Amino acid sequence: MPVSTLILSSSLALQLVSGAAPAAPAQSSAPAKSAAPAKKAYAPPLAVAEKLVGPALTEGHSYARLAELTDGIGPRLSGSEGAAAAVQWALKSFKADGVKAWTEPVKVPRWVRGEERAEILPSELTRGHPLFILALGGSPPTAPEGLTAEVVEVTSLEALATLGDSVKGKIVFFNHTMSSPADYGRFAGLRGRGPALAAKAGAVGSLVRSLATASLRTPHTGSTRFDDEGPRIPAASVTTEEADQLHRLLAKGPVRVKMVLGCSELPDADSHNVVAEVRGREKPQEIVLISAHLDSWDVGTGAHDDGAGVVMVMEAARLIAKLPQAPRRTVRVVLYMNEENGLRGGRAYAEAHAAELSKHVAAMEMDSGGGRPVAVSLRSGPGGKELLEPWLSPLVALGAAQFSTREAGGADISPLLPARVPFFGVEVDASRYFDVHHTHADTLDKVDPQDLARSTAATAWVTYAMAESPDTLARPEAPTGSPGGGAPVATPPKASSGR
Amino acid sequence: MPVSTLILSSSLALQLVSGAAPAAPAQSSAPAKSAAPAKKAYAPPLAVAEKLVGPALTEGHSYARLAELTDGIGPRLSGSEGAAAAVQWALKSFKADGVKAWTEPVKVPRWVRGEERAEILPSELTRGHPLFILALGGSPPTAPEGLTAEVVEVTSLEALATLGDSVKGKIVFFNHTMSSPADYGRFAGLRGRGPALAAKAGAVGSLVRSLATASLRTPHTGSTRFDDEGPRIPAASVTTEEADQLHRLLAKGPVRVKMVLGCSELPDADSHNVVAEVRGREKPQEIVLISAHLDSWDVGTGAHDDGAGVVMVMEAARLIAKLPQAPRRTVRVVLYMNEENGLRGGRAYAEAHAAELSKHVAAMEMDSGGGRPVAVSLRSGPGGKELLEPWLSPLVALGAAQFSTREAGGADISPLLPARVPFFGVEVDASRYFDVHHTHADTLDKVDPQDLARSTAATAWVTYAMAESPDTLARPEAPTGSPGGGAPVATPPKASSGR
């Protein structure tokens, strides 16, 4: 869709702005930190809301962009040709949108999936079955002929610890009971750390039940992390169907599995974050950071994870750049590289911009898929809700005019925590997110154009609120226990139980 | 589960029978065709109902059997080792159940899946995408290096006919809009006959959108039929995701696909129907035939299609055989071989038993999955409902005490149509059947044990009704346009829209 569709003539645009009843321009030069005026009931510039929400809902621009990214480029694992193509696509798209953009260097891991297959071997219990697997990102390969071993089932890292020598030489199979998005955080550690701990206990391989809320024999990949000095064993996810089958067979007797993984870890590769911004009209040095991650897993086309987030924040910037008057502060878009298997982009940004993090007045990352908006989230010092409350009214019809009970956050912005950057976010309905998360099935058809448009509209408006509000969010305390900016490899995506 | 769980002592069993208020035994020797007594309000032997419905609902025997068949044996395409193992399993199981069983020879086609892969080739529109395919049963292979051609999309056989020379040298992609089980019949012809007609029009390959009501990048296989003298081209199903993607890309420009199929057609193989029966006490020469098909596709484990039907009819026979008194007529179970890609078992049975088809007083095939029962179906001459009506009351709590608006039928029993055998059936909820039908995902976990138990109970009781009722169903007219017993290769499974 051409970006010119909704370019208004400047005279018409001015007319619309000046015609708005509680017009913003009269207030827009008020000092941001002046205590007295801010205590009055602040009336946000609602005329701007229609310029953001209107086109987001009617133009279909974010969905068209998502089709370009997923159909045109496809998967984009860090270091791959797809990831490099996505960087170029983002630069070109920002340029077409009239938003200044550039790249910033990130050195990324380069893990490459290879041949992968596994099977339950024939025994007295069964004639044997193929297993549908996906190697976990970070897994080493098996020997070319594969590995064959008996399977031991465990359902927690604690249970693994009690098994002692009995897992030596075995394939440890991590089973669990994930049934809703809220369970992701409970069980993600089995994938993230289970194989490393199984290796330390002497296991020779590991299978992890997919972190899934639906399955049609659908394996879910994801990262697993081994310690630099510790042993590493081949690790793959199995489908929920096969986890159930392994469980049934193991209840009757021993089960042996053969697995062959051909994945490899190549030398780190040069890659990039893509950064773009709309300069603020009054306090350009104050930055409202909105972000998503440009990389995806190498399966599917990363439509929900995180193509949806990418097009939401790009569209927010495009629409804000088209406003007749820029917001008070600078809106900066960061499309991070390497959220999925390293978080190098998030860390690189925090390092490269360390000197200006005190001027980052708010940051958000959209990374829970392209569902409809359900709430606004915050992580700030006192008074955050009071500051944002007057800005909620344009979100009523979008279904998001309430505050979430969850804190705002995001894996790539977690390195900003030590600098006490306030976080905000638009929480989306993620009730079906884990049906497709990290699978071959994360494709464009799973994203509802209407839901995406609504979340894009909410993202644009809340971003504008952060950039235009006379006051800024109070900075939160730095989290304890996270010295030096260390961030989790994979923060569980927020998951609304709605719908 | 041991089969002895509910064996009652004969004295207790007699007690239960004689304690039933409208006791059957008093009537059980009434002549079946004596018009006057049958016109009275017939009171079926409800005490028998508790002996059939009770154990079917409480013992979990049918589900345990389904686990044996799917976990222990797995897929069982005609001519495969799995199919042969399933025949032996069925014989052994009938023996354990105390039901006399034997095999009857069937010569079956032996189609074997090989390597299969396909991709959308890179172009100006896309960096390229893998396609998740399943060769259609009956497809010839490609050359070892595969075939590459431009794709032409059509949405009906009629539309194909209008394209003339423009499909020469192309891959014809059959797209459609299946969204509910009721659509299966509308679009199954694209899979069954599309490739043959595309071949006649000069196409070099064919892709068919999966006949699916859900997809997580899940291809659905199935049979396609080429004419004996006509051209044959490689044919595969693609997932709904990829069908949507092909459609989007084709709207923008030419798309080229490469496909590699290594499937092969081996010489016909020796196989078997498994037949078992419980002899009738009064008219053993009159046969109530209950059936399902033992073969499955080579993907998944055929849990719904048709493992569920197999265990339902086996369990019906087991429970009827345990009754203190056999029903009036013989209950014969047939587990057909080769429903999926040839119907050879159904035809072989009709031929081998041609002389006694006039004594087949009713026949049914359970082949719509393991969903809960929703109705009783019939295909008979006049008076069928009136005959069966008094028998419905034990089905009330099972949710099936009504007559379906659909005619009873089944692919394997369709060769009995010319002999005017009345059909009956238990219609099951098939609203989710086409989520997994003919896919890798047709596995045990998709069958709800409670639903399966309820449909098993209903099957047992309705079978008993047919075998015990004083009167038999009037024979229907032979269908017109189906001379000589010709039957469709694949009758669309019944699909209830319920749930």
Q: Residue A391: how many CB atoms within 10 A of its CB?
A: 22
Per-residue confidence band for B4, with pLDDT thresholds at 50, 70 and 90:
very low
Q: Which of A437, A428, A431 is nearest to A455 (CA)?
A: A428
pLDDT tens, residue by residue, B246-274: 999 999 999 999 999 999 999 999 999 99
Rounded Cα distance, B436 and B424, in Å: 25
Chain B hits for A217, Cβ within 8 Å: 218, 300, 439-441, 443
pLDDT tens, residue by residue, B294-310: 999 999 999 999 999 99
Residues from B in contact with A at Cβ < 8 Å: 67, 71-74, 81-82, 85, 125-129, 132, 214-218, 240-241, 244-245, 248-249, 300-301, 435-436, 439-441, 443-445
Chain A hits for B219, Cβ within 8 Å: none
B175 CB burial (10 A radius; 0-12, 13-18, 19+): buried
Give the ranges where A263-414 is alpha helix by DSSP (H): 308-321, 344-352, 384-388
Asked if A74's CB is within 8 angstroms of B126's CB, the reply is yes
pTM of the model: 0.89
Mutate to test the interface with B, among A241, A250, A439, A448 (most CBs of B within 10 A): A241
Catalytic residues of A: 339
Q: Residue A272: how many CB atoms within 10 A of its CB?
A: 24
Q: In the predicted model, is pLDDT for residue B18 greater than 90?
A: no
pLDDT of residue B393: 96
Q: In the predicted model, is pLDDT for residue B30 greater than 80?
A: no
Rounded Cα distance, B375 and B39, in Å: 24
Residues from A in contact with B at Cβ < 8 Å: 67, 71-74, 81-82, 85, 125-129, 132, 214-218, 240-241, 244-245, 248-249, 300-301, 435-436, 439-441, 443-445
Rounded Cα distance, A5 and A14, in Å: 18
Asked if B72's CB is within 8 angstroms of A301's CB, the reply is no
Cβ atoms of A109 and A268 within 8 Å: the answer is: yes
Q: How far is B151 from chain A (nearest CA, A)?
A: 16
Asked if A125's CB is within 8 angstroms of B74's CB, the reply is no
Q: What is the mean pLDDT of residues B391-395?
A: 97
Instruction: Give, to the nearest 10 degrees, the angle between helix A308-321 and helix A46-58.
Output: 130
Q: What is the mean pLDDT of residues B325-352?
A: 98
Q: Cα–Cα distances in Å, from A58 out to A14, A61, A142, B133, B253?
A: 21, 8, 51, 36, 26
Q: In the predicted model, is pLDDT for residue B396 greater than 70?
A: yes
Q: Cα–Cα distances in Å, from B320 out to A498, B98, B326?
A: 48, 11, 7
Rg (CA), chain A: 24
DSSP-derived pairing of the beta strands B147-154 and B171-174: parallel
Q: Which of A468, A105, A461 is nearest to A312 (CA)?
A: A461
Rounded Cα distance, B184 and B189, in Å: 9
Q: Which of B413, B419, B424 is nearest to B306 (CA)?
A: B413
Chain B hits for A123, Cβ within 8 Å: none
The one-letter amino acid at B248: R
Q: In the predicted model, is pLDDT for residue B6 greater than 60?
A: no
Q: What is the mean pLDDT of chain B?
A: 90
For residue B436, the surrounding DSSP H or E stretch is helix B433-436
Q: Which of A202, A440, A482, A420 is nearest to A303 (CA)?
A: A440
Catalytic residues of B: 339
Chain A hits for B444, Cβ within 8 Å: 244-245, 248
Mutate to test the interface with B, among A132, A177, A216, A221 (most CBs of B within 10 A): A216
pLDDT of residue B15: 33
Cα B216 to its chain centre, rounded Å, is: 24
Phi, psi of B214 (to 5 degrees): -160, 155
Q: Cα–Cα distances in Å, from B177 out to A352, B72, B212, B368?
A: 51, 37, 10, 21
pLDDT of residue A369: 98
pLDDT of residue A271: 98
Rounded Cα distance, A228 and A199, in Å: 13
Cβ atoms of A271 and A183 within 8 Å: the answer is: no
Bridge partners, A182 (sequence order): none
Write out the two tokens for B137. 């049963």
pLDDT tens, residue by residue, B219-247: 999 999 999 999 999 999 999 999 999 99
Give the ranges where B40-183 is alpha helix by DSSP (H): 46-58, 61-67, 81-97, 157-162
Asked if A216's CB is within 8 angstroms of B435's CB, the reply is yes
Read off the DSSP letter of residue B353.
T
* Shortest CA distance from B247: residue in chain A: A71
The one-letter amino acid at A7: I
pLDDT of residue B91: 98
Asked if B127's CB is within 8 angstroms of A241's CB, the reply is no
Considering only the beta carbons, identify the residue of A73, A126, A445 that sits closest to B241.
A445
Q: Is the peptide bond before B268 cis (omega within 30 degrees of 0)?
A: no
Cβ atoms of A375 and A441 within 8 Å: the answer is: no
Write out the two tokens for B478. 């032979």
Q: In the predicted model, is pLDDT for residue B99 greater than 60?
A: yes
Asked if A444's CB is within 8 angstroms of B71's CB, the reply is no
**Looking at this predicted complex, what is its ipTM?**
0.88
Asked if B73's CB is within 8 angstroms of A440's CB, the reply is no
pLDDT of residue B424: 98
Which residue numbers in chain A have pLDDT < 70? 1-40, 481-499
Read off the DSSP letter of residue B145.
T
Q: How far is B304 from chain A (nearest CA, A)?
A: 14
pLDDT of residue A17: 32
Q: In the predicted model, is pLDDT for residue B494 greater than 60?
A: no
Read off the DSSP letter of residue A223.
B
pLDDT of residue B43: 87
Chain B hits for A72, Cβ within 8 Å: 125-127
Phi, psi of A248 (to 5 degrees): -65, -45
Rounded Cα distance, B452 and B70, in Å: 15
Q: Which of B370, B294, B278 is nearest to B329 (CA)?
A: B278
For residue A269, the surrounding DSSP H or E stretch is strand A264-278
Write out the two tokens for B165. 């020379």
Q: In the predicted model, is pLDDT for residue B27 greater than 60?
A: no
Residue B338, sorted as left (phi over 0), alpha (psi -120 to 50) or beta, turns out to be left
Q: Which of B118, B321, B136 is nearest to B234 (CA)?
A: B136
Q: Which of B334, B320, B301 is nearest to B411 (CA)?
A: B334
pLDDT tens, residue by residue, A104-145: 999 999 999 999 999 999 999 999 999 999 999 999 999 999
Rounded Cα distance, A302 and A292, in Å: 12
Cβ atoms of A386 and A446 within 8 Å: the answer is: no
Chain A hits for B125, Cβ within 8 Å: 71-72
Rg (CA), chain B: 24
Q: Cα–Cα distances in Å, from B143 out to A36, B129, B228, B262, B271?
A: 80, 21, 21, 8, 30
Q: In the predicted model, is pLDDT for residue B201 greater than 80?
A: yes
Write out the two tokens for B357. 């088809």
Rounded Cα distance, A370 and A449, in Å: 9
Chain A hits for B71, Cβ within 8 Å: 125-126, 129, 245, 248-249
Bridge partners, B137 (sequence order): B223
Q: In the predicted model, is pLDDT for residue B38 greater than 90?
A: no
Spell out the residues 6+ positions from residue B479 whose beta carbon is closer than 8 angstroms to its own.
B417, B418
Q: Which of B362, B352, B364, B349 is nearest to B286 (CA)?
A: B362
Q: What is the mean pLDDT of residues B324-349?
A: 98
Q: Which residue has the higher pLDDT, B385 or A9?
A: B385
Residue A110 half-sphere exposure, CB side, CA atoms within 13 Å? 14
Three-state DSSP at B219 gives coil
Cβ atoms of B206 and B234 within 8 Å: the answer is: yes
Rounded Cα distance, B291 and B61, in Å: 18
For residue A268, the surrounding DSSP H or E stretch is strand A264-278
